[in-house]
């Protein structure tokens, strides 16, 4: 089957922020996963795990959303500043009712960002907090001159302000963030955003709480009432394998049936329809497409691993999750004109994580390798293509700096697929050809066998008369870069 890539046609820019991450104070996502403290025997720099930091640096995480999630709507930023032995201990009522000692707070968050090279995306507390609380936090972070909060920041050891571009105002306000109606939330958002202080030349990018999945009424009301006052509208969509009901829809991350493989794939592909319909509503109020859709929570959600705290959301990550990640990223690229940011949930030890840790051990998941293989697409120009594709194959293509990158996912369980990509004889050298694949549909890395699934080279391809002919194995992700 032949796909003709329109390499001379101008395409939308694939924002690097589509490769964003999300880390919440949840289970072992922050503590043990990212932050172990300065006195830990685990190698660290200022408390941040060196192995995790290096792994995240390697995939060039562009932006990291924090501190939640639901945790954000019970979080008071003042609890996480100052001497650590004097910080308030609280109960994390959203996730496992465990004690949170607030040793990872604002200063630690920006230290982490500095180490991995990412930009901040802070979710402020609209659920149980106040406008003043939000405004003082922004002042604490960004005020360069003399003020009460800037002076407090300096007292706590940080002289210069940090840069803060992305600010989320409200998280899941339709649910755990306040059980609000869209009309009420929209009016409240308008009030909150008007008190966000602006000390930097670059305007703050304000993200309003958007819909859950296919709640199109929410999008319509928020765009109608609050649209002129927002930059991005968030969307949350999780891949729940077995159906719509949260109580019975997750199932195990491993040991699943072929039927659940296909249900998972079908559920994740639905995000294409959901983005399309929400974008159409946004077009009604924003025909120039100046506002963005921001999918700041997405990924698979399974039952927790046996023997772990149900509130910690710790799950394994298999080749099926690599399929899900690649399918989502391919879809995101297609919507790059409207879609500006996405944040997979979550970075370490929670849900569809990049990395899993156990004591001083760390493993990279199949999802991590997909993000690694797709790096060329960040801030590249989307390349449209036409031609009939096999039913169980998805692809994306982009161009940047004279290079063409093609990424393909074949989620067949048995059959390989031979594909031909035609690109008008403009690219004649293969720069790299990477493959991620597995034999078993629930193959995954463990601490005993950390490299069972890893990137390899693919050799079953050829350049023929200016076309790329490639055989893509079943249960695999492939990325080829050409010049």
Residues 6+ apart with CB under 8 A from 78: none
Coil, strand, or helix at residue 113? Answer: helix
- Give the CB-side neighbour count of residue 221, counting CA atoms within 13 A: 18
CB 22 within 8 A of CB 297: yes
Pairing assessment for the beta strands 355-358 and 361-364 based on DSSP bridges: antiparallel
CB distance 479 to 434 below 8 Å: yes
Q: Residue 265: enclosing H or E segment and its boundaries?
A: helix 258-285
Residue 341: other Cβ atoms inside 10 A = 25
DSSP 8-class letter at 58: H
Catalytic residue among 297, 384, 418, 460: 297
Whether 3 contacts 386, CB under 8 Å: yes
The one catalytic residue in 24, 172, 417, 455 is 172
List of residues 6+ apart from 75 with CB closer than 8 A: 25, 67, 68, 125, 129
215 preceded by cis ω (within 30°)? no
172 belongs to the catalytic site: yes
Q: Report the candidate in 28, 38, 25, 22 with the shortest Cα–Cα distance to residue 357.
A: 28
Which residues have a catalytic role annotated?
172, 297
């Amino acid at each position: 089957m032949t796909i003709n890539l329109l390499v001379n046609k101008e395409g939308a820019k694939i924002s690097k922020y589509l490769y964003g991450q999300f880390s919440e104070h949840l289970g072992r996502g922050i503590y043990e996963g990212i932050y172990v403290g300065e006195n830990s025997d685990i190698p660290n720099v200022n408390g941040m795990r060196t192995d995790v930091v290096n792994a995240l640096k390697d995939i060039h995480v562009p932006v990291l959303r924090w501190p939640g999630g639901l945790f954000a709507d019970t979080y008071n930023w003042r609890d996480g500043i100052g001497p650590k032995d004097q910080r308030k201990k609280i109960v994390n009522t959203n996730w496992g009712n465990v004690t949170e000692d607030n040793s990872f707070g604002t200063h630690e968050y920006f230290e982490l960002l500095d180490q991995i090279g990412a930009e901040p995306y802070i979710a402020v507390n609209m659920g149980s907090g106040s406008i003043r609380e939000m405004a003082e936090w922004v002042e604490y972070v960004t005020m360069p001159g003399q003020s009460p909060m800037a002076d407090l920041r300096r007292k706590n050891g940080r002289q210069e302000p940090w840069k803060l571009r992305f600010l989320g105002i409200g998280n899941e306000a339709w649910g755990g963030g306040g059980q609000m109606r869209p009309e009420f939330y929209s009016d409240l958002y308008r009030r909150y955003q008007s008190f966000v202080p602006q000390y930097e030349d670059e305007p703050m990018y304000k993200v309003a709480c958007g819909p859950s999945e296919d709640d199109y009424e929410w999008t319509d009301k928020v765009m109608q009432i609050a649209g002129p006052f927002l930059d991005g509208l968030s969307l949350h969509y999780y891949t729940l394998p077995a159906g719509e009901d949260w109580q019975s829809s997750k199932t195990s991350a491993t040991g699943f049936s072929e039927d659940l493989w296909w249900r998972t794939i079908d559920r994740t592909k639905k995000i294409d329809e959901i983005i399309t319909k929400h974008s159409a509503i946004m077009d009604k109020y924003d025909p120039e497409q100046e506002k963005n859709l921001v999918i700041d929570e997405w990924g698979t959600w399974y039952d927790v691993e046996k023997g772990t705290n149900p509130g910690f959301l710790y799950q394994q990550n298999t080749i099926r999750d690599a399929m899900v990640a690649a399918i989502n990223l391919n879809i995101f690229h297609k919507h790059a004109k409207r879609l500006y940011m996405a944040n997979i949930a979550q970075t370490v030890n929670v849900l569809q994580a990049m990395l899993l840790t156990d004591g001083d051990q760390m493993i990279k998941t199949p999802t991590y390798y997909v993000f690694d293989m797709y790096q060329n697409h960040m801030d590249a120009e989307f390349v449209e293509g036409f031609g009939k594709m096999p039913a169980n194959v998805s692809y994306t293509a982009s161009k940047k700096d004279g290079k063409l990158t093609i990424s393909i996912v074949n989620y067949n369980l048995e059959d390989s697929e031979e594909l031909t990509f035609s690109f008008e004889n403009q690219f004649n050298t293969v720069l790299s050809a990477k493959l991620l694949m597995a034999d078993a549909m629930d193959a995954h890395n463990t601490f005993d066998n950390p490299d069972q699934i890893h990137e390899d080279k693919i050799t079953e391809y050829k350049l023929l008369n200016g076309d790329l002919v490639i055989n893509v194995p079943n249960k695999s992700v492939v990325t080829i870069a050409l010049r």
